[in-house]
Amino acid sequence: MMKQIDVVGAVIVNENKEVLCALRSESMSLSNYWEFPGGKVEKGEDHKEALVREIKEELLCDIQVGDFITETLHEYPNIKVKLTTYFAQIIKGTPIATEHEKIKWTPLKDIRSLKWAPADIPTIDLLLETESCNKKYF
Ligand SMILES: Nc1nc2c([nH]c(=O)n2[C@H]2C[C@H](O)[C@@H](COP(=O)(O)OP(=O)(O)OP(=O)(O)O)O2)c(=O)[nH]1
């Protein structure tokens, strides 16, 4: 059976209603695809703890995790990824890309122009569809 991993992604929104997008680097799998910062959930962690830890490691800042967005199962050629996304806000520090090629604050209206990791498309669709319902974040 193909290996399945539990991955969490943060849709970090700033005061200008832009979303923090991260470009996977040459050294990572799925290089040159954009993704939501985050990563694999470790044993004994819940999703929120995993997200806070991953963002601290990858972007050197602290977030507060908010509402659940969606969960998607995507089969890549070598791995099955269960991606769960949550809204988040930065509560301390400024994000710095330590692992990614780069990071970029992107207005929602421009978000489709990036080449997203396939597992992220349902989240992107939902963000665009429900923009008016997500007044809390956008
Ligand atoms: N963090 C994150 N990972 C994503 C997203 N979409 C998506 O397909 N993935 C995939 C890429 C990776 O296979 C996995 C995340 O694991 P990871 O970020 O800890 O993986 P990694 O680069 O450290 O390790 P590797 O995959 O290079 O072995 O999920 C996303 O939006 N955010």
DSSP 3-70: -EEEEEEEEEB-TTSEEEEEEPPTTSTTTT-EE-SEEEPPTT--HHHHHHHHHHHHHS-EEEEEEEEE
Given this model, what pLDDT does residue 61 score?
98
Ligand 1 lined by 117 (C-beta under 6 Å)? yes
Q: Mean pLDDT for each 10-residue chunk of the chain (138 residues)?
A: 94 96 97 98 98 98 97 97 98 98 97 98 92 72
**ipTM score over 0.90, yes or no:** yes
Question: What confidence score (pLDDT) does residue 31 get?
Answer: 97
- 65 in ligand 1 pocket by Cβ < 6 Å? no
Q: In this structure, which residue's CA is closest to atom 3 in ligand 1?
A: 39
Distance, CA 114 to ligand 1 centroid (Å)?
A: 17
Confidence at residue 122, expressed as pLDDT on a 0 to 100 scale? 97
What is the Å distance from ligand 1's center to 39 Cα?
Answer: 5
pLDDT of residue 75: 98
Any ligand 1 atom below 6 A from CB of 70: no
pLDDT of residue 20: 98
Q: Is the pTM of this model over 0.90?
A: yes
State residue 92's pLDDT score: 98
Q: Which domains are seen in the chain, by residue range?
A: 4-133 (3.90.79.10)
